[in-house]
Structure 1
Amino acid sequence: MESDELLLVLLQRATHVTLQVLATDLADLKLTASELNVLANLADGKPRTVSEIGVAAGVRPTTLTGVLDRLADKGLLARAAHAGDRRAVEISLTPRGVRSAARISAAFAAVESRALDGVPESAVKQARRVLSALAAS
């Protein structure tokens, strides 16, 4: 691997490998990568609007609608009118969704821990800044 390899190429490769590991570790949940992503973003238990989930998960609204429909059909999340804005829909986890999201979050943390074992904390912080910048672009 060359040191001048594009960062985005490395990021894509890392994402692909990470998704393969997570798909194997969480295969029994029978969830797509997009579904795992949405549940991971809801793992803190705080209800979110559809638009907030879209921003957090980096998913387009048209894609997100299908993902939310599938997760609702699987009994993992519920939709309700937002208390402060009746035009907005609020998404929350069902009890089964809470259990699945906790497992997903733990799996994400384990993969990250294994991958970053031995990497200095300063490098991890720098990587977080770079990835945050890329996600904001």
Structure 2
Amino acid sequence: METDELLLVLLQRATHVTLQVLATDLAELKLTASELNVLANLADDRPRTVSEIGVAAGVRPTTLTGVLDRLADKGLLTRAARSGDRRAVEISLTAAGARSAARVAESFKAVEMRALDDVPLAAVEQARRVLKGLAES
């Protein structure tokens, strides 16, 4: 790798390759990359509001609405008013959604483990800080 290669170019390349690997591994789910992203963020099976999912997944609200619509149409999640705050819409996984989210999380973890197998833990933690910083900019 050349030292003058932009980090964002490398990140874009890594993202493209990773999405291809995940699409192949998770093809049986017939989900888009955005749908996989949302399910990965719901894999702990904890209900979240739409805005919480948007922040966690890094998805614009207009895009997220369509993604959530498609996942609901596939029977993978439900929407309901949050208890105590009817203005907030809470998203929960269905049983099928929980199974799909677990499969997605398993695939994400396997890809990450293969990629980072020989990388020292300190470097992994530093990469996490960089990626979080980029996500917040």
TM over 0.5: yes
Q: Which amino acid in the other structure matches residue 109 of structure 1? A: K
The equivalent of 2:92 in structure 1 is 92
Deviation at 1:126, TM superposition (A): 0.4
The equivalent of 1:60 in structure 2 is 60
Question: What pairs with 1:42-61 in structure 2 (closer than 5 Å)?
Answer: 42-61=42-61
Q: How many residue pairs get matched?
A: 137
Deviation at 1:3, TM superposition (A): 1.3
SS at match of 1:88: strand
Structure 1 residue runs without a partner (length 5+): none
Mapped partners of 1:123, 1:2: distance in 2: 19
Q: TM-score, normalised by structure 2?
A: 0.98
The equivalent of 2:15 in structure 1 is 15
SS at match of 1:75: coil
Residues 43-82 of structure 1: CA deviation (Å, up to 9, x unaligned): 0011000000000000000000000000000000000001
Deviation at 1:85, TM superposition (A): 1.3
Residues 76-115 of structure 1: CA deviation (Å, up to 9, x unaligned): 0000001121111000000000000000000000000000
The equivalent of 2:116 in structure 1 is 116
Q: TM-score, normalised by structure 1?
A: 0.98
Mapped partners of 1:14, 1:100: distance in 2: 24
Over the aligned positions, Cα root-mean-square deviation in angstroms equals: 0.6
SS at match of 1:87: strand
4+ residue segments displaced more than 3 Å = none
